Chain A
Amino acid sequence: MTQTAVPRRSERAVREAVPGGAPAPRRSGRRRIALPYLLLFPALVLELLVHLVPMLMGIGMSFKELTQFFIRDWSAAPWAGLDNYTVSVDFDAPVGRALLTSFVTTCLFTLASVALCWLLGTAAAVFLQENFRGRGILRTLFLVPYALPVYAAVITWAFMFQRDNGLINHVLHDQLGLGDTPLFWLIGDNSFWALLTVSVWKGWPFAFLTVMAGLQNVPRDMYEAAALDGAGVWKQIRHITLPSLRQVNQVLVLVLFLWTFNDFNTPFVLFGKAAPEAADLISLHIYQSSFQTWNFGTGSAMSVLLLLFLLLVTGGYLLLTTRGRKASDG
């Protein structure tokens, strides 16, 4: 019944071609043009609600004197102008100084973490490129940190890093006899290294997975030809593997950079609400400014500054890598 009621595509085309039926094709054409936009509409609405609206609200809040007194109706908070930004970048005062320290810490942490993740991931992927017995098991094992829930994994690390009862000190101090006294990992300066360890442990499997996928596209005969020409493993990596992975690495480094720079879960679970100064990453710092001291306006201003910095770095990075790619392609 339905089939007879709905004209077939060919019938419709014939009818639309009949002289005198001019308005029909125009309607159909408009519909055809509108359809993709209509189908995109839900995604657009969601994108607006989930990303753009909160971001615009955050920008609005950064110009307000927003504390707990106005949290129920933030639009009623007094206008603060640029005060929140001034406080955030006044590096002679404690708030600005703490933000700067946190920013520098985050930069160092991100550089170290991304570099180590990339190195470990690439080394493991290259190592597992060759077929050997047990390769499948190793591949699976390497991906375990990536598969584990972040909270469970990091809380386990927090237990292991405890000074008196943790596994790390048990091995380093009790078994290997390193140091006169057990070290603190969750407070003080060593907390940076504890955080870096967990971040790399958590992040390198992603690099491994991405590089491994990239390596699938490198033709094997290139390696064979190079081997015939007498190129050793290192030369093969340098002249075939790394250039072939260039585009993959560009995306990988960018993604790792953004994830690591914004990482909130790892320091929050490892140290709690107040991270030690040596491991006070900027995301946790902003969280504390906003949700612990209830300076929502200042916290928003800090977030906007962070967003601008990340946009600048990401834009610069993409510009450089695109230019580099065009140059090498040309």
Chain B
Amino acid sequence: MRTRRAAVTGAVTLSVVFAATACGGGTAGGSGGSDSQPKTLTYWATNQGPSLEADKKVLQPELEKFEKQTGIKVKLEVIPWSDLLNRILTATTSGQGPDVLNIGNTWSASLQSTGALLPWDEKNFGAIGGKDRFVGSALGSTGAPGKDPAAVPLYSMAYALYYNKKMFAEAGIAKPPTTWAEVDAAGRKLSRDGKWGIGVEGSNLSNNIHQVFVLGKQHGADFFTPDGKPDFTSEGAVAAVKQYVDLMAASKIVAPGNAEYAQNQSLSDFAKNRTGMVLWQTPSQTFAAQGMKPEEWGVVPAPVASGTPGQGAQTNSMVAGINISVFKNTRNLDGALKFVKFMTGDEEQILLNKTYGSVPPVKTAQADPAFATDSLAVIRDTLATSASALPQVPEESQFETVVGTAVKELFADAAAGRPVTAESVRAKLDKAQQQMPKK
């Protein structure tokens, strides 16, 4: 009888425990940290270096430094880009997220709209030294206009044109291109003997968006109306997408195989002297990991239609970068703010941005001589004068998916030798627009 009673008790207890575990809220940070016991924080970092392990090696000593200063232990997880958005979304839904996390700056407004991230009002900014410490262009990618930012800039980047000096010399090209016409001409000279002019990542949705957004600016298109509605089929948007895909379809200066690239294979081709140019953000670490020496490549501002880069039609880059955010339901707000202050402090900004080859969004750190090199000067100038933030609308993330997919499909058509016309581009963009959530 006792055995039976024990079995029944066990069964019911087990079910109650399971039910409680599944339905209960648990600790918000998942770290056990709280304002009353601020001993730990969980931090999700983005993959900045050549591998997740490389990132851990860079960040772990800094986190230990933070622990020594504050007594707060930071549990680090480096999340691959392919998983990050879904992980954040899951954390948002369940409330079981990290305390502090990195986000791609283009997602700021989308993630802000979920209400999961801590708003950076004057008080919160005050806790990390004030808003004025940050460069204006970087602050432009931290959330929707008119609202308190959902994030703080951490690493700033911009697109530039990287060229392979050896291949340029072999093709007899005296100076790196600065306009699209010059890119086309140089690309045609480079595209021979199994080598190609410029590399693209045709299956990488985000990269596709970055490129067509900039080209859209050059054609006077924004992809969203001023009141935030999708506007993917404007003349400028169609022209921008067609111009980008035509690098493969019409100019034939992109290898057809690039249509299936999504894992930075174009950088590998560049480092192996198979591709003469790439449009990229801060690839120096990856080049080095591929065995390419700094003197083997050069960098110039990303091309414009004509003249020199600037604002409006002369925009030649999106404001790329990484932001740092705090999960609103963290139980260790004080510790999280201290951590953000630490990561955006001058010392860490100089060290981390130098390591990752990016530019600090913090003005005082940016003045450090480490960021005065030729290649970083190009990025810094681009950010200061000719870069625009991607649309800061809640639907930005969906825009990346649907338009990025449309561009991917058009590259697949081009690679297969199917014609890419204004009509086929418009049809793809129209389909993309209709897939956007209705407001």
- Interface residues of A, Cβ cutoff 8 Å to B: 6, 31, 35, 38-39, 41-42, 44-46, 49, 67-69, 71-72, 93-95, 98, 162-164, 184, 186-189, 272-274, 276-277, 288-289, 291-295
Contact = CB atoms under 8 A, between A and B. Distances in A.
A294 B398 contact: yes
B203 A272 contact: yes
A294 B412 contact: no
A69 B260 contact: no
B78 to A, nearest CB: 19
B350 to A, nearest CB: 36
Contacts of A276: 409, 412
A93 B1 CA distance: 66
Interface in B397-413: 397-398, 401-402, 404-405, 408-409, 411-412
Interface residues on B, range: 35 or more
Nearest to A161: B260
B115 A274 contact: no
Interface string B396-439: 01100110110011011001100000000000001100111100
Interface of B: 1-2, 4, 7-8, 11-12, 14-16, 18-19, 22-23, 82, 86, 89, 92-93, 95, 110, 113-116, 202-203, 205, 255-257, 259-260, 262, 394, 397-398, 401-402, 404-405, 408-409, 411-412, 415-416, 430-431, 434-437
Contact of A38 (B12, B16, B113, B257): B12
Given A95-B434, A187-B415, 4 more contacts: A41-B15, A72-B114, A188-B415, A293-B398
Given A68-B394, A94-B435, A163 B401 contact: no
Contacts of A49: 18-19, 22-23
A295 B437 contact: yes
Contacts of A72: 92-93, 95, 114-116
Nearest to B418: A188
A187 B4 contact: no
B408 A71 contact: no
Most buried by B among A98, A184, A277: A184
Contact of A42 (B14, B255, B401): B14
A71 B92 contact: yes
SS of B interface (majority): helix
Given A42-B18, A68-B394, A293 B92 contact: no
Contact of A71 (B8, B82, B93): B93
Contacts of A187: 202-203, 259-260, 408, 411-412, 415
Contact of A68 (B110, B259, B402, B434): B110
Given A35-B4, A292-B398, A163 B260 contact: yes
A293 B437 contact: yes
A293 B402 contact: yes
Contacts of B435: 94-95, 98, 289, 293, 295
A11 B436 CA distance: 75
A46 B397 CA distance: 35
A291 B86 CA distance: 7
Nearest to B93: A71
A163 B256 CA distance: 9
B1 to A, nearest CB: 7
A35 B6 CA distance: 12
A274 to B, nearest CB: 4
A184 B412 contact: yes
A288 B114 contact: no
> Which of B11, B12, B110, B113 has the largest number of chain A CB atoms within 10 A?
B11
Given A39-B8, A294-B437, A164 B205 contact: no
A41 B11 contact: yes
Contacts of B4: 31, 35
Contacts of A38: 8, 11-12
Contacts of A288: 401
Nearest to B16: A45
Contacts of B23: 49
18 contacts: A6-B2, A42-B15, A49-B18, A69-B394, A95-B434, A164-B255, A186-B203, A186-B260, A187-B259, A187-B411, A188-B416, A272-B203, A272-B262, A273-B82, A276-B409, A292-B401, A293-B437, A294-B437
